[in-house]
Amino acid sequence: MKLAGIDIQDQDGLKLAIVLRQNGYAEAASRIETTAEEHQNEVALTIKDREDILSVLVETDSELAKLRAVLLEEHVARKQTGL
């Protein structure tokens, strides 16, 4: 599956969904789970989903480190442009 344009293994996406749900981010978790269940290729993330994912990826394994880097870069760019 793709999250923010980054290819990740479905199992890593589902691990992320578990962590999101455990931290109170059920909507983002559901979006990832639904994508995996329906065998879709890309998760349609909202800005809030992206922020929620960033908040749980403070420390991450190497599989999700690239996702965190991309989301952080996008977040900084949105803040700089006032979005």
pLDDT for position 78:
84
DSSP string, 39-70: T-SB----HHHHHHHHHH-SS--HHHHHHHHH
pLDDT for position 37:
92
The pLDDT tens digits for 24-79 are 999 999 999 999 999 999 998 999 999 999 889 876 666 788 888 888 888 888 88
Answer yes or no: pTM beyond 0.75.
Answer: yes
pLDDT for position 66:
81
| Token representation of residue 80 | 């700089």
Q: Where are the domains of the chain?
A: 2-81
